[in-house]
Amino acid sequence: MKFDDGSICSLTYTCVGSTKYPKETATVYCDGMVYNLQDYLSMNVFGTNNFSIILDKKDKGHLKQLKLFFDSINKSKVYPVPIWEQIQATKIALEVEKQIKKG
């Protein structure tokens, strides 16, 4: 994906790599910093202040997401993700699917 400011996003979803490599990784380059997430267990940050975060267990945020959704319905709290962002994410996912099918 290419954004208006010229930055790009590249997504690779594959099952052909080594099982010894972390299953889920993300690397973000932003403002002279590099953020590297591995398997939702560790994140290394490189740049002005280098540091690492290591968790004892994976937390992809699913439980928190469900709790926030429940609270927004049952306690009349505002859902933290605006509807326009949800629509935008859906449009992106559908466009990615369309591009994959074009091959």
Closest CA to 1 of 101, 87, 89: 89
- Are 20 and 7 members of one domain? yes
- Are 49 and 65 members of one domain? no
Above 80 in pLDDT, residue 103?
no
- Distance, in Å, from the CA atom of 66 to the CA atom of 63, rounded to the nearest integer, reads 5
Above 80 in pLDDT, residue 19?
yes
Domain span at residue 44 reads 1-59
- Are 73 and 51 members of one domain? no
Would you state the pLDDT for residue 28? 93
- Are 55 and 89 members of one domain? no
Would you state the pLDDT for residue 45? 97
